[in-house]
Structure 1
């Protein structure tokens, strides 16, 4: 599980685009980073699935308009940021929703979100997705492929469904309260194209205690147990991490002697 502090200046404002393809997944806003009082619970619920309009098979999201929402009081940017995540079916990269699209998505779900908070929420949303992709790449480096690397084929937000691992952690917390932890505030399933083979990853998003004015998030990214290969990969990584921790402790012990 990887802890991700949100930097004071989120690095996701490098390139803009006007394409209609977006990654609109999780939106987290901490009231210490702006003057608003939007709660984590409210932002968590913004991950609820859309209904009504036709959904894209690639992301289960309808087309998001760039027009101001009814009753909107301040203009929101319509520029979009290109991610570092390559698309499997083209040479392009996935793109994040603009602040206006993001706000429209929240409005259509019935959530009252301060308009002045939207840009911060989009920055955090984009940052977390970039970090999730970096974690996927760490797993993929264990594989030897002759192609040009993994690419994201499709994804799906499942905020109302606990993953098996998250469910086990919650059960363990009831039996051993000292091990208890709040449930993840969101879950995504990402399917990548690994040289023509589809591989599903499960991503659980946890909120950790803030460090001063910096919100902390934990990402638990791992291949889904859909195959023996994924099971072996998870065992290999867990064994390697355990060995590295043991070696680090041994080195500390030698230093103290």
Structure 2
């Protein structure tokens, strides 16, 4: 997940995401029956030897340009339209919003990375839709974390850059897997299918610059929605434990709802 290109357009991305807390499951509107491959983002967070001859964008470790032409041997013509996200890019409004790849660009990128074998061409558009859906959900959860700071400064956060780490378990994910081995009835025993680190710009006040805050996002599969039968996902989004402020925010985020419940401010259904 978390795969963007830069865009200067200000077009809104449709609000199709519903999220709850950092562990809230988001039912996906896309039919996954044709997606037989791994859900992990096809782009690695770091370049490999093959990328050394390319110019990579330092904001996302992606090649500066991915072709929109049909791949050799491709049978189905895919859309080259790219969707504009709702996520502000860079430090100023004139840098616009992050832009998602088109289905054709995603297929070309996967083929370039050797991850396109066995992927049905007619499933790529659904994969892109799922990808975009999850990124919008992750950003909404970041906005919830940043809400107190946004109220104080009256300036919305922005996304500076991101890095995909699909093969690197976060300390929290590793801890839950360890607990799952000991208490499989209580804790998760399946690792996240993807991880991303997003560098978010938090305003220090209008005209006073930005503070960089690293967020870690673990992407988990969840049981299918009981009513619709559609696949669901759980996004565990939180500030990285890089400093005392982030640790305090995580503790407050966890402890405050428990305090309200203990004080009788939250009614049991």
TM (norm. structure 2) is: 0.78
1:38 matched residue in structure 2: 36
RMSD: 2.1
> 2:181 aligned with 1:174, yes or no?
yes
In the alignment, is the contact (CA less than 8 A) between 1:88 and 1:192 conserved in 2?
Answer: no
- Cα offsets for 1:106-155 (capped at 9, x unmatched): 11122221110011110110010001000000000122542521100000
1:122 matched residue in structure 2: 128
Q: Secondary structure at the match of 1:214?
A: coil
Shift of 1:164: 0.6
1:183 matched residue in structure 2: 191
1:105 matched residue in structure 2: 109
Q: Secondary structure at the match of 1:130?
A: helix
Residues 57-206 of structure 1 mapped to structure 2, 5 A cutoff: 57-62=58-63, 63-91=65-93, 92-110=96-114, 111-112=116-117, 113-143=119-149, 144-146=151-153, 148-181=155-188, 182-195=190-203, 196-206=210-220
In the alignment, is the contact (CA less than 8 A) between 1:47 and 1:186 conserved in 2?
Answer: no
Count matched residues.
227
In the alignment, is the contact (CA less than 8 A) between 2:35 and 2:127 conserved in 1?
Answer: no
Cα distance in structure 2, aligned partners of 1:251 and 1:213: 29
Cα distance in structure 2, aligned partners of 1:245 and 1:163: 29
Cα distance in structure 2, aligned partners of 1:245 and 1:109: 49
In the alignment, is the contact (CA less than 8 A) between 2:28 and 2:230 conserved in 1?
Answer: yes
Cα distance in structure 2, aligned partners of 1:130 and 1:108: 26
Question: Please, which runs of 5 or more residues in structure 1 have no aligned partner?
Answer: 9-28
Distance 1:114 1:239, change over 3 A: same
Which runs of at least 4 in structure 1 moved beyond 3 Å after TM superposition? 47-51, 244-253
Distance 1:66 1:226, change over 3 A: same
In the alignment, is the contact (CA less than 8 A) between 1:187 and 1:202 conserved in 2?
Answer: yes
Cα distance in structure 1, aligned partners of 2:35 and 2:87: 32
